[in-house]
Amino acid sequence: MNQTATQHQLAANTIRFLAADAVQKANSGHPGMPMGMADVAVTLWTQFLKHNPADPNWPNRDRFILSGGHGSMLLYSLLHLSGYDLSLDDIKQFRQWGSLTPGHPESHLTPGVEMTTGPLGQGISSAVGFAAAEQWLAAKFNRPDFAIVDHTTYVFAGDGDMQEGVSHEACALAGHWGLGKLIVLYDDNGIQIDGSTKLAFTEDVQARFRAYGWHTQAIDGHDPAAIATAIKQAQAETEKPSLIACKTVIGYGSPNKAGTHSVHGEPLGAEEIKLTKEALGWPAEPSFLVPEEAGAHLNGRSQGQKAQDEWSALLAGYAQAYPELAAQFEAAVAGELPAGWETALPQFEVGSKLATRAASGKVLAGIVPAVPQMLGGSADLTGSNKTDVKGYAAIQRGVFDGRYVHYGVREHGMGAIMNGMALHGGVIPFGGTFLVFSDYMRGAIRLAAIMEKQVVYVFTHDSIGLGEDGPTHQPVEHLMSLRAIPNLWVFRPADANETAVAWQVALKRKDGPTALALTRQNLPSLETNVAQNALFGAYAIGATDDDTAAILATGSEVEIALQA
């Protein structure tokens, strides 16, 4: 065995036993997937993944999404060994209250975690949004000799992700768009919690993805050379997303539990860990052993810093050649709104009658040109949601610099893709459907709220006034249901001017999603004073009762109060 192979095996086994020991100590968790995918992970992270542990938010890093979040110890082990700010003590606190290593990865909590992945299907689906954001920004900003946006989204996904319906919606769009920088490494181990996947899952996954327009391969997921060759071939497919089916053994190395469903969602047990360590030639003690050579093999700091420094030099040259574009790019990545954008907000004449969905469309006609990082769409209800703006094309394969997204009849996929766009950065996504169909995308909405990401939902046809459509299209419980989601702000503006204020607040808000519930029916624009307008805005930004009392008392001085 040559030195490289020995280093690989050492690093892979380090990951396997960090996972096994952490799950055993917590007496809860999923050791099987980390043990099975360790070879794929080491190959990807040492030979292909472009990242800088010293700067987890470097804009041009590759994105790594662990869609099967239950296998979180795989990611935590990789982050620790690669040099991220995640210590061995953090690893030992796996699944403990207040730790940086909860049972499923949390993007707003742990450095290096790109996305919160708990519900299956969400990671692979949001990864489509990551890849779409990369391709959109590249189309907008890249120039000859200046590929300042140039990175790949890698995903580890399992059988559960493939079974969840949202993955069908999003992956079909990925193929339609030709997202060549999206590479999914599929943990094809044939096991789920109830037992063999044959109990309920016998489809040809590769044929399904080829039908979507993906490039597919099948490999031995424990053969580092085959893994590396497959990733290189996937990278060469620049006009198709790629699926690499990695045949693995869940719980690899365990004499009695490898390849069984018992290793999916429970600890190996002290005796089985001992036997597994013997089988793989690993010291029985101490637990949480990290050989120095394993860390050295995986550590990405020096190479990552070199890659980032080269990119920074490229960006500096770009700024000299294209100063306006560079300023726009840096503002978008930083999440900064252009100066004076609020002057593009329309004002509506008191007494005029306008449905708030139509008022929203007029607001968008003003602010989309003023805020270039806004990218909007609809789940096949463009004319009803009023989410398009005249003069802007839709993104499509080969023409990806448009400002509109046709999601098709895919509400849940739309929600997940918008999450990926927001997580990627440089994009403020908004998307429309009927309020009653918010049910279809609730899982993605809840995740946006947990991850504290700026996503805007345009929910029209907000009332039972849709009588002729029948009960299926009449939202009754939906406002209450949405308002029950922590950190989701839900606005139901009373008229056109409040609709403009709602959009203003949604664009200013950086720490969570916003939902607008808008009417199909015409509503009169009400006569309001400064205090009433400010009161709406104050509630929108979470003002306390004392704040609102002060606003009502000060009247014309309210703008000063809000700024304070």
Match 């394993």 to its residue by tokens. 294
Burial of 285 (0-12, 13-18, 19+ CB in 10 A): exposed
User: Tokens for 324?
Assistant: 């306006």
| 411 included as an active-site residue | yes
Taking alpha carbons only, the member of 521, 505, 416, 514 closest to residue 468 is 521
How many Cβ atoms from other residues are within 10 Å of residue 3's Cβ?
Answer: 8
Strand ranges for 227-359 from DSSP E: 242-247, 353-355
Among all chains, which residue has been given the structure tokens 């929203």? 360
Reading the block at residue 148, the tokens are 């300042």
Q: What is 399-427 written as a DSSP string?
A: B---SEEE--S-HHHHHHHHHHHHHHSS-
Token reading at 441: 């995308």
- Please choose, from the candidates 293, 297, 273, the residue with its C-alpha nearest in 3D space to the C-alpha of residue 285: 273
Q: What are phi and psi of 399, to 5 degrees?
A: -135, 85
Which tokens go with 495? 């008229």
Q: Which of 164, 169, 411, 498 is catalytic?
A: 411
Q: Which phi-psi region, left, alpha or beta, contains residue 363 (left: φ > 0; alpha: ψ -120 to 50)?
A: alpha
Structure tokens at 8: 């690989």
Residue with tokens 């015409």: 522
Name the token pair of 564: 């304070």
| Angstrom distance (rounded) from CA 121 to CA 523 | 40
* 239: amino acid identity, one letter: E
Round to whole Å and give the CA distance between 123 and 125: 5
d(CA 7, CA 59): 30
Residues designated as active site: 411
